[in-house]
Amino acid sequence: MLRTTLAGLRLHRSRYVTTVLAILLGVMFVSGTMVFADTLEASYEKSVMGSATSVDAIAVPAGKEPGSAAEPEDPVPFTDEQLDRVRELPEVAEAGGTLRGQAVLLDSEGRASGFAPPAALALGEVSRFSADEGALPSGGDEIALATSTAEQNGFAVGDTVTVLDPEEDKREFTVTGLVNFGVDPNYSYTGALVFDRATAREMTGVSDYAEIDVLAAEGRTDEEAAEAVAAELGDGAEVRTGEAFGLEMAENSGGNTEMLRIALLLFAFIAMFVAGIVIYNTFAILIAQRQRELALLRCVGARRGQVFRSVLAESAVVGLVASALGVLAGVGIGMAGAAFGGPLLGTGSSVAVVIAPPAILVGLAVGTVVTVASALVPATRATRVSPLAALRTSATAAGLEKGTGWVRVVLGLLAFAVSAALVTLTQVSGPTQMGPVVVTGAALVAFVGVVVLGPLLVRGIVRVVGVPLRRMGVPSMLAVDNSVRSPRRAATAMIALTVGATLITGYSVVSASVESTMTRMLEEEFPVDYEISSQLAMDGNGTGGGTGEEADGAEEAPAEGEPAPEEAGDAPSESSDGSADEPEAEAAAAPGPPRQPALPDEVRADLESRSVLDAVIGFRSRYVQDEDGALLYPVYTYSGAEIGVDITSDLVEGDLTEVGPGRAAVAEGYADGAGVGDTLTIPLGDGQELSLEIVAVVEDMQNLSGVTVDEEDFTEAFPEADGDEALFVRAAEGADAAEVREAVYTAVDDHPTLQVMSVAEIKNQFNEMMDIAFYTIAAMLGLAIIIAVFGISNTMALSVLERTRESALLRALGLARGQLRRMLSMEAVLLCLIGAGIGIVLGVVFGWAAGDATLPDMVFSVPVGQIALFIALAVVAGLLAAVLPARRAAATSITGALASE
């Protein structure tokens, strides 16, 4: 039987070409993902370990203990005296301190680069960092840049850059080198500038050290040096060996790599699932076509078990060969991903590819197991072939001609009913974290219904679509009849395409709906044209602080349409109590998140003097805390705006226009059961309370989050927060857009650190981000579509093989070769359109359900253009799938085919 199986494989190897391609593509994705992720992880580790292990011990200031309820305190940096004492330790050969503050770098247009200033460093004589290109600065007019900062701004070695000093005076520096800081979080987010020590102190105002790097004395181990430094610096320092420091950072970056690996493997699972459908369909058709062959084997003595093992051996050989090819392709894909995608993820330009044994073994195992598992049902069906089938004159594909019984109909309708019930449940319960999970389950149940009712769906759709096609000539009429001749085969072939079409359509609906929702929030609920804010200032140790012109207590403004960063639910109500004594009241009004520097008053005055501007709205915020330092709720005010008119949110109850002195609006998540007419109390710094009447409760995740109060009440509660953190500018009706832009940018000309963003730019940036995400995910899901098209092509090829005599008879009756090719192409196009059509319908339904179960007040949007493009691609895919089978059928000799049986 083994020799017979192998002989059959050699004789009919062309039948397995598209099956091999389907397995190859799926395994390629699996192995490629593992190679790429392993390479990325190793590169991160090398980058981190390479810098950390260049020194023997690293000391950083100790932070607050995790879980402490005390008021957070900034880590205390090291002084020159502490550095000198470390140098004098017998276990230490050399030591150097890294001075770290912040400085504002101007881009090529003279504006501050980034939303937060880059770190400004001075590296010590001993440091874990060095120049990757050029040299570190040695004079007061030289600077080195982080490679990420240079790439972001288009700077290179030899260029002249401008940096602002603490008085915001401009100073020019020559770039002497580039430093790769890898994945160190202190520098990977904001970038970095490197000065010599004296210049760094001038530019940052910082004189102490954020890190001490140590080389162990001769004869001393790294651990001994680290222990000695820890004993010298005491509880105010965290000291680790260079290797331990690097391992911890590598593990942190490795966590991001693992998330990327899981995400990519999810797409690989989808690809293998679709490949499994293709493999199942291929073997089902082959077994049905080989009934006489299998019956003859039974006649000459083959037992059922031998036939079963023969089919499984056939599938194992196909799966193993295809998987081996897929692993080779996957290694190539992984290498390409590491070479082109690695640098975008911070691995540097030189990436050493890692090909670990699991990437090879898992790829081989997954491909082979999926192939054998997909062949189990056809193999079982092969054992049921009666030996008498060998005596029949025709026994081709009889195994797929069974009708659709009432049991299948009931099961299919039941699956759709369960799916509908799950979707209804998500709509009744509203947006929750479990909503998308429930929708995913509903989609899987619906797929079961499509699989069970597939033959009926094919018949019904072809009946409808076939009416106009029958009038388009003989080839189209024959194609329609052939499409319903074997509806189970057609349904099995198109289900793979249905899966891919559902996923892509569903994601496109979610993406388009999110864009529409954000557009509504930006354009309808907050009708401003420009937003002006400062860079988010951090102190020298990377924690919240402030530089330049800053109002004490100014906080970071939340993004438009988003809630404050606290957890909703700890809400103000009549029972709020934070005023037992003066110290507690002061703690209650303490700031929470990093501070946002206040805007200069002259900027607002300049804007308000411009006739082309209709409104200039100031934004200020503070956070109310309890005596333990826990954030209770944020308080916002908008000066120059009429709440409910200029700035709105969807109401739960009340009237936003009632907000004024002594009256406030509260977001529902912070209401804690309080409603319109109840009293809200805000603790004051003198131990008193400010009592406000709640006149409106608004929905969460809207423009008005937290507690919104009148400017007069805000000033009474937080007198120290007297500067605007952001300005929202609205153009006058009919004003020229160019004049409005000129007015806004003229007002901030003398303040390069101010960030200016137009609502249109915010929208465009968000849309670009969503588009990039969509096309990236669509490209990955496109692999499943390609595999599905291979499956349809294979189905057509096997169908043509089965119908050789029939095609020859049609030719003999006068059907031209071109007409035969058109007939087969139309069949393939019908299959693709049916699969894509069902997938598009399911995708729209479940895309809407997933979006509505996640986003409150989602604006449902169907991307008609993308769906039309997908339908066009389905037609093209059908034509491509039929090219080779149609050419083969048209080229077959009429007399030879008629005489073959």
* Residue for token pair 């090909």: 355
Distance CA 697, CA 666 (A): 5
What pLDDT score does 255 carry? 52
Q: What is the DSSP string of 542-565?
A: SSB---SS--TT--PPPPTT---S
Report the percent of the chain where pLDDT is more than 70: 80
Q: Which of 147-156, 223-232, 665-674 has the highest mean pLDDT?
A: 223-232
Rounded CA separation 740/612 (Å):
6
Six token digits for residue 101: 């503050």
DSSP secondary structure string, 729-744? EEEPTT--HHHHHHHH
Rounded to 5°, angle at Cα 219 from 217 and 222: 65
DSSP 471: G
Place of tokens 């192995």: 31
* Range name among 198-202, 461-465, 716-720, 877-881 with the lowest pLDDT average: 877-881
Nearest to 871 by CA among 822, 836, 899: 836
Q: Is the distance from CB of 556 to CB of 592 less than 8 angstroms?
A: no
The DSSP string of 559-585 is PTT---SSPTT----TT----SSHHHH
CA 256 to chain centre: 12
Whole-angstrom distance, CA of residue 556 vs CA of residue 130: 34
Backbone phi, then psi, for 24, in 5-degree steps?
Answer: -55, -45
Residue 560 has pLDDT above 60, yes or no: no
Closest among 617, 706, 713, 709 to 670, alpha carbons compared: 706
pLDDT at 510: 85
Q: Which 3 state secondary structure label does DSSP give 273?
A: helix
- Written as six digits, the tokens of 172 are 């020019």
Q: How far apart are CA 716 and CA 634, in angstroms?
A: 16
Residue pair 631/566 in contact by the 8 Å Cβ criterion:
yes
**Residue 64 confidence (pLDDT) above 60:** no
Interval 701-725: pLDDT, tens: 777 888 999 999 998 888 888 789 8
Count CB-CB contacts under 10 A for residue 488: 20
Transcribe 813-841 into DSSP letters: TT--HHHHHHHHHHHHHHHHHHHHHHHHH
User: Does 615 have pLDDT greater than 70?
Assistant: yes
User: What is the tens place of the pLDDT at every residue in 821-879?
Assistant: 888 888 888 888 888 888 899 989 988 888 888 777 778 888 888 888 888 888 888 78
Listed residue (180, 184, 51, 185) closest to 128, CA to CA: 51
Q: What is the DSSP letter of 486?
A: S
Give the helix ranges, DSSP H, for 609-710: 668-671
Distance from the Cα of residue 133 to its chain's centroid? 33
Give helix 291-299 / helix 242-289 axis angle, nearest 10°: 80
Distance between CA atoms of residues 228 and 823, nearest Å: 84
pLDDT band of residue 74 (cuts 50, 70, 90) is low
Q: Which residues pair with 616 in a beta bridge?
A: 729
Least confident of 239-248, 592-601, 697-706, 811-820: 592-601
More confident residue, 442 or 40: 442
Q: What is the DSSP letter of 201?
A: H
> In 3D, which of 568, 585, 588 has the Cα closest to residue 673?
568
Question: What is the pLDDT, as a whole number, of residue 594?
Answer: 52
Distance CA 40, CA 37 (A): 5
pLDDT over 70 at 524, yes or no: no
pLDDT for residue 205 is more than 80: yes
Given a cut of 90, whether residue 212 has pLDDT beyond it is: yes
Q: How confident is the model at residue 343 (pLDDT cuts 50, 70, 90)?
A: low
Beta strands in 601-759 (DSSP E): 613-625, 631-639, 651-654, 663-667, 679-683, 689-698, 707-708, 726-731, 754-758
Distance CA 825, CA 878 (A): 7
- Classified as helix, coil or strand, 608 is helix
For residues 341 and 322, give the distance between their C-alpha atoms in angstroms, rounded to a whole number.
27
> In which element (H, E) is residue 845 found?
helix 817-852
| Assigned token pair, 821 | 């090719």
**Distance between CA 434 and CA 567 in Å, rounded?**
18
- b/e 164-198 (16+ beta carbons within 10 angstroms → b): bebeeeebebebbbbbbbbbbebbeebbbbbbbbe
Per-residue confidence band for 561, with pLDDT thresholds at 50, 70 and 90: very low
The pLDDT value given to residue 579: 35
Distance between CA 486 and CA 33 in Å, rounded? 38
Q: DSSP alpha helices (H): ranges in 14-127?
A: 17-52, 80-87
Least confident of 39-53, 100-114, 356-370, 695-709: 39-53
Q: How far apart are CA 247 and CA 46, in angstroms?
A: 10
What mean pLDDT, rounded, does the chain reach? 78
The whole-angstrom separation of Cα 267 and Cα 781 is 7
**Cα 588 to the center of its chain, rounded Å:** 37
Per the CB < 8 A criterion, the answer to whether 494 and 838 are in contact is yes
Contact 504, 842 (CB under 8 A): no
- The enclosing H or E element of 694 equals strand 689-698
Interior angle at CA 653, CA 649 and CA 654, nearest 5: 85
Sequence-distant (≥ 6) Cβ neighbours of residue 680 within 8 angstroms: 572, 573, 574, 576, 664, 666, 674, 691, 692, 693, 694, 707
Q: Which pair of tokens denotes residue 142?
A: 């030289």
Report field, pTM of the whole predicted structure over 0.85: no
Instruction: Using the predicted structure, report yes or no on whether residue 537 has a pLDDT greater than 70.
Output: no
The span from the CA of 143 to the CA of 158, in Å, is 10
395-418 mean pLDDT:
69
**What's the rounded Cα separation, in Å, for the pair 854 and 836?**
26
Residue 797 phi, psi dihedral angles, 5° rounding? -65, -45
pLDDT tens-digit readout, 738-765: 898 899 989 988 888 888 888 766 767 6
Cα–Cα dist 631/41, whole Å: 37
Q: What is the pLDDT of residue 167?
A: 84
pLDDT digits (tens, 9 = 90+) for 648-689: 888 889 999 999 999 999 998 888 888 899 998 888 766 678
Where in the chain are the domains? 54-250, 453-525+759-901, 536-752
pLDDT of residue 609: 92
Contact 23, 323 (CB under 8 A): yes
